[in-house]
Structure 1
């Protein structure tokens, strides 16, 4: 009788093959076996490449990091479990109690919360300033200022930061400039080419592109900063899922095509919305009426992004009516999907702000952010025309 008592012992050898997979293999293993303690020492000391424990790194995360590194003209980026995990790796990996950080006053809602509540609780002072006004950021500088965090195009008001001016200011002050490039992506803008020190992405959004992945990415120009962020991410357990990394790599293979199609549709949809009765205003970087149009044209070189924001007459009642009427579109707090989605900042991303704080940012109850997907432009025009009319009595 065959002895099967050892059938569960590991590792079993993988089948040999003279060919190789075309698709990156999924590596869900939490742990990796080494031959000897000396071999493990060699890995930890960097004399050989290898994996030990997935919280410290795994093949699928390294593949995704390498792909985004190539897009951004970077090396040594880290992948984290979410976009906010990437922001956290930057802030808590590089700052310490007694430091001061300046944030753009139109950052993503959770980034704003982190700036206003979490960092001060840990002894890190914060100030918010208009990222489009270099003088305002200069006025916020202190001797203990360590870092400035901004978004190229803000979420959700789509204001455009003065990246070139901020880079010069930070360089002269000896302060790090961290740029969240999620909206613009490296297809439209590469922050390192404009003097940034750190680049951040929510890979969840356009890079992965299918609303089935939650990941983030951060990279610094200085390898020592990369190592500090990596060590904090490993210690804090900001670990990315191998399966999400595997899905994200699949999504990135079509990224350029998706971005170009969605951006072209977004620009045309913005112009269409601007002509509809009941729409108070439309915000899109390439439109002449955008408050930062000249800066957007110079910085983004004609690129816009796939995001359109607009405001309806009628406040919250009109917003409710609009989402009910636009039943073909997902009303969901996300962006970058292949399908068009609607987001209402007052009830989602910026709900933690007071009504007065939202009003100061221009985020009224009738304000929507649209993440434009890959649908036919004429079909989207029809949906928005009908929904706006039903919502505003047009």
Structure 2
């Protein structure tokens, strides 16, 4: 039976426990599982690093939301990303990343993987000719983030998928900012999707995790091998918290989007703000692409301050409802200065973030309170 997104979010992988009838998947807090004979596994589980029923339930839930066959959950978004890169790349291989990639991705590619012999090029993914030119004979992966962090650039996933297919490389999409509620890259032609489940999927700023989702059986098997061999797996309780968060993803994302639109409207004409970056604005460079491939435009908003870095830092210090903190996607609203916080690793590189930029993760509080908080903070500049 074909079901809607919210129904899948609540029920996929979440069947009542067959022994007790519990409607919530139990937290299987065990490191090992009894065997009924040597190699005779009672229910397919032997050791919790290799597999755990609570993790299996989460992986089934995530796969269903992305319209995929397979999912592997990890201890963090970066662990998920690193595992995927190691599944697809070898020394002397090449990867294309966005010119405004997440700082953690840039750090991973430019330091950790570079030490392993992997090379990279950073390009504007909205410039399709530049993407084609960046793909080398050694390129194995086209890494896409859309919307990007923190500039909220939009890439055309379908167009990138066509380029990747022509070049014989895989297209991976970090879908963290959009969440599967707003965007499903596999349906647009991507080979694989990555999430920091810490963000909108968990949704409550109380758990760290990651996931890789694909319908490619061979890739899924290799991810399972690396997941077990490298061991960066989430705990059963982490899986429980993430799964619980996912069940309210649809209603939360609608409120995030509603509030973000309110914030954008209030900030767009403010004299202290030089520009508002939000895919929902008709003036956004790739607004039409976003409208084509996203259900709505998300809960992330970035602003550039007319007063430069000093004003940006002052704004971060002056809010009362928006909490100064890294991360995003939780029910509470957060504010941060990317250049000095989440994207400090890009300083001095072509990916360096402008010092006048402030990133807002708009939560699900009362919209009036969020607008009032930002306006009072801007009045102090």
> Normalising to structure 2: TM-score of the pair?
0.92
Deviations 1:234-286 (A, max 9, x none): 21111111111111111111111000111111012111111212011001101
Counterpart of 1:383 (choices 327, 349, 373) is 373
- Identify unmatched segments of 5+ residues in structure 2: 1-16
User: Which residue number corresponds to residue 212 of structure 2?
Assistant: 218
SS in 2 for 1:352: helix
Deviations 1:43-70 (A, max 9, x none): xxxxx85111111121111111111111
Q: Residues 1-394 of structure 1 correspond to what in structure 2 (within 5 A)?
A: 19-40=20-41, 49-300=43-294, 303-355=296-348, 357=350, 363-391=353-381
Report deviation, 1:18: 7.4
Report deviation, 1:121: 1.2
Report deviation, 1:19: 4.6
For the residues of structure 2 that align with 1:320 and 1:144, how far apart are their CA atoms? 42
Deviations 1:158-186 (A, max 9, x none): 00012111100111111100001011111
Asked whether the equivalents of residues 200 and 216 of structure 1 are also in contact (C-alpha less than 8 Å), the reply is yes
Report deviation, 1:17: 9.6
Report deviation, 1:313: 2.0
For the residues of structure 1 that align with 2:261 and 2:86, how far apart are their CA atoms? 37
Report deviation, 1:205: 0.3
User: Quick check: 72-81 or 226-235, which moved more?
Assistant: 226-235
For the residues of structure 2 that align with 1:19 and 1:358, how far apart are their CA atoms? 53
- Identify unmatched segments of 5+ residues in structure 1: 1-15, 41-47
User: Quick check: 106-115 or 291-300, which moved more?
Assistant: 291-300
Change (3 A) 1:186 1:130: same
Asked whether the equivalents of residues 277 and 389 of structure 1 are also in contact (C-alpha less than 8 Å), the reply is no
SS in 2 for 1:390: coil
Asked whether the equivalents of residues 54 and 236 of structure 2 are also in contact (C-alpha less than 8 Å), the reply is yes
> Bigger radius of gyration, 1 or 2?
1
How many residue pairs match? The answer is 365
Deviations 1:14-58 (A, max 9, x none): xx9975112211111011111111414xxxxxxx85111111121
Asked whether the equivalents of residues 105 and 131 of structure 1 are also in contact (C-alpha less than 8 Å), the reply is yes
For the residues of structure 2 that align with 1:234 and 1:163, how far apart are their CA atoms? 31
Report deviation, 1:324: 2.4
Change (3 A) 1:34 1:354: same
Deviations 1:335-371 (A, max 9, x none): 0110100121111111122256455xxx322211111
User: Quick check: 369-378 or 31-40, which moved more?
Assistant: 31-40
